[in-house]
Structure 1
Amino acid sequence: MQLIINTYGSYLHVVQNSFEIKSEEEKKRISAKKIDSILITTGAAISTDAVKLALENNIEIQFLDEFGSSLGKVWHPKLGSTTYIRRRQLEIASTEEGTEIIKQLMFAKTDNMIQHLYDLGLKRNKEKQDYLENKIEEMDLLKEKIKKLSGEIDDIRYSLMGYEGNISRKYFSCLSYLLPDRYQFEGRSFRPAKDEFNCLLNYGYGVLHGKIEKALIIAGLDPYVGILHTDGYNKKSFVFDFIEPYRHYIDRIVMKLFSRKKVRKSYFDKISGGLTLNDEGKKVLLTALNEYFQDKIRYKGRQIVIENTIQYDAHKLANSMIQEGS
């Protein structure tokens, strides 16, 4: 499970080899064996003993800013695999082999988006069915254009990104179309979000970004060596490449919150240029996210916890690099 600390003034320390969270309202003790990560989202204190216990049990500690982006992490220095995997990653980053990896990630992303639209009850919503089916058909056509692209990534980067962006715009127009009128939105918006949907989505993507980075490092892949997204100082380019097929997990969580009428205007604070998610809103989103990622699904022929699908795919990619390079 993920331990989430989102109450201002909380204190995380160790009692009898277990974590204890103290706040003004309560004390809660949790065994280190039940935790795989600790997420700290607001002003809180953590003891050095708690950090030590986390490291001893391979538990990641992650700090998030007000937008859900990772400020930094504390984890065991031995995470990761062989240097050979990262060398292979560098070798293929600018080759057609790298292009194929990106295309496969884009195919998976598009398929997951389309499946999400069907799962939202497209066939049951006769009134909006034609609009949604037309958008899905357009998304499929763009996917076919991606299939036809070939060559080194530097030669087709902007075509790939253009098709991907167009697919995403059609997908998000569908999500907006399915929301209640007062929550519909005009496309994606970032830091800050201009509406409630994007505000929840951005914060959720920030949390997902941390999960992707951790999975890559455990698999031995370098989060900084991108293929589609170019390298930059202190830029985790490969996280931005690899995250795409898994964004629908956050989309599903946020859409479910709206469909179950669990989103309130009070969860958002107005700031210059848009909205930010307040502590009450973060608690609702992070609770839903934590529960969702612990659910089991049928994935590539096996029953697996949703969060573990990311690690499964990261290991699969790392292994394929080793096999093709040997």
Structure 2
Amino acid sequence: MQIVINSYGSYIRKQSECFVIGVKDKKQEIPARKVQSIMVTTSAMISTDAILLAHEHNVDIIFLNQYGKPFSRVWYSRFGSTTYIRRKQLEFSGNWKGLDLAKGWILQKLDNQTGFLEKLKKTRKNKAEKITSYVASMSRSRDKLASLEGENIDDVRGQVFAFEAICGKIYFEVLNFIMPEQYRFSGRSRNPAKDEFNAFLNYGYGILYSKMERACILSGLDPFIGFLHTDNYGKRSFVFDVIELFRIHVDEIVVRLFSKRMVKQGMCRAIQNGLMLDKEGKELLISEFNKEMESTMRYRGRNIRKANIMEYECHRLANGFIGRDKDVSMGDVRHY
């Protein structure tokens, strides 16, 4: 299970082999063996004994900023698995194999997005014709990306980003088109969001980033050695690359919240130059995210919890780097 701390002034301490979570006069004991991660989204106190207990049970402690983006985590002091995996990952980062791999992840993301739009179209008959037109436009750009070739790896990398941006613009135009009138938005906006939809989407992606980084670390992959995104100092480039396969989880959740009018006034609050989720908005999104992660989907012939698929895919990729698995691809996370 995941513990979420989102009440101002909360504390986490240890009692025997349990985490004690409290705020004001309320407290709850949770056995450490049942906890996978602790997510802290507000000002809180945590004892060193609780941190040690988390260490002993391999519990990840993640701290999120006001936009839902992880800014720090308390983690076991060494990577999982062997350094040989990270050496091979570094080799891939500077050659065509790595770029082709990352391009495949982008293509899979676009396939997931167009599949999602086709699903939305089925329940919106009055908007179906226009959605079909949008999907066709996305598919044309997607096909151009699939056939993209070149001699200079940096030039091709730039073109991949360009086609991805074109498709992304169309995709969010469709999502805006199907939104209830009061929640329409003008494209993507980040940190801060300019509207409620992007505020929920940004926070959801932030939660997903923390899950993706954890999967990388557990499988022995280096979150900072990317194939498509640049490896600037302090940037988790590989996480930004591979998360593309899983963004659709958050897209589905956020669209569902707005389509079913579960988002209420007061779940976002104004900040300088934009909006951010308030406590009620965070509670709603985190609750729906956790439900989504507990649901299953078809994955390589089996029904698997969505929460586990990121780790399975990262382990499979790591094994491919070192030759234990001949298939080094990572594009079999099909949602539609």
Normalised by the length of structure 2, the TM-score is: 0.93
The residue type paired with residue 301 of structure 1 is G
SS of match in other structure, 1:234: coil
- For 2:122 and 2:68, how far apart are their aligned partners in 1? 34
**1:193 partner amino acid:** A
Residue segments in structure 2 that go unaligned for 5+ positions in a row: 328-336
Q: Which residue type is aligned with residue 312 of structure 1?
A: Y
Alignment RMSD (CA, Å): 1.6
Return 5+ residue gaps in structure 1 as ranges.
Answer: none
Q: Does 1:201 align with 2:201?
A: yes
Instruction: Tell me the residue number matched to 2:317.
Output: 317
Name whichever of 58-67 and 249-258 sits farther off: 249-258
Residue 322 of structure 1: how far off its partner (Å): 1.4
Partner of 1:266: helix, strand, or coil? coil
Equivalent AA in structure 2 for residue 132 of structure 1: I
Give the Cα separation in 2 of the matches to 1:98 and 1:174: 31
Q: Give the drift of 1:279.
A: 1.6
Q: For residues 81-96 of structure 1, what are the structure 2 equivalents within 5 Å?
A: 81-96=81-96
Could you tell me how far apart the structure 1 residues matched to 2:182 and 2:294 are?
A: 31
Quick check: 200-209 or 286-295, which moved more? 286-295
**SS of equivalent to 1:243:** helix
Residue in 2 aligned with 1:139? 138
Mapping for residues 189-228 of structure 1, pairs under 5 Å = 189-228=189-228
What is residue 55 of structure 1 aligned with on the other side? 55
Query: Structure 2 CA distance, aligned partners of 1:5 and 1:285?
Result: 14
Distance in 1 of aligned mates of 2:106 and 2:239:
14
1:70 matches 2:79: no
2:307 and 2:119 mapped to 1: Cα distance? 19
One-letter amino acid matched to 2:93 = A
**Structure 1 match to 2:182:** 182
Q: Find the counterpart in structure 1 of residue 12 from structure 2.
A: 12
Q: Could you say which residue in structure 1 is the equivalent of 2:129?
A: 130
Cα distance between partner residues in 2 of 1:156 and 1:88: 22
After superposition, the Cα gap between the structure-2 partners of 1:262 and 1:84, relative to the gap in structure 1 and judged at 3 Å, is same
Could you tell me how far apart the structure 1 residues matched to 2:225 and 2:43 are?
A: 33
SS of corresponding position for 1:7? coil
Q: What is the CA–CA distance in structure 2 between the aligned matches of 1:109 and 1:81, rounded to whole Å?
A: 28
Identity percentage over the alignment? 43
In structure 1, how many angstroms separate the alpha carbons of the residues matched to 2:321 and 2:203? 32
What is the aligned partner in structure 1 of residue 330 from structure 2? none
Q: Deviations over 1:41-83 (max 9, x none)?
A: 0011111111111111111000011011112001112442211
1:221, distance to aligned residue in structure 2 (A): 1.0
CA-to-aligned-CA distance 1:82-106 (integer Å, 9 cap, x gap): 1111111111212111121012101
Counterpart for residue 283 of structure 1: 283
Runs of 4+ in 1 over 3 A off after TM superposition: none
The alpha-carbon distance between structure 1 residues 220 and 140, as it changes in their structure 2 partners (threshold 3 A), is same
SS of residue matched to 1:265: coil
Distance in 1 (alpha carbons) for counterparts of 2:285 and 2:125: 30
| Structure 2 CA distance for aligned equivalents of residues 212 and 96 of structure 1 | 24
Q: TM-score, normalised by structure 1?
A: 0.96
| Structure 2 match to 1:268 | 268
Judge conservation of contact 1:96–1:150 (CA < 8 Å) in 2: no
CA–CA distance in 2 between the matches of 1:265 and 1:153?
A: 48
3-state SS of 2:159 partner: helix
TM-aligned CA deviation for residue 243 of structure 1: 0.9
Structure 1 equivalent of residue 46 of structure 2? 46
How far apart are residue 125 of structure 1 and its match? 1.5
Write the mapping of 1:95-106 to structure 2, written as runs, cut at 5 A: 95-106=95-106
1:226-241 matches, within 5 Å, as: 226-241=226-241
Q: Taking structure 1 as reference, are residues 143 and 59 closer, same or farther at Cα in structure 2, changes over 3 Å only?
A: same
Question: Secondary structure at the residue paired with 2:62?
Answer: strand
Cα distance change, pair 25–126 in 1 and its aligned pair in 2 (3 A) = farther
- The answer on whether the counterparts of 1:12 and 1:21 sit within 8 Å (CA) in structure 2 is yes
Distance in 2 between the 1:89 and 1:78 partners? Answer: 17
Q: Contact between 1:94 and 1:154, CA under 8 Å: does it hold in 2?
A: no
Q: Tell me how far 1:216 sits from its aligned partner.
A: 0.9
Asked if the contact 1:98/1:153 (under 8 Å) is kept, the reply is no
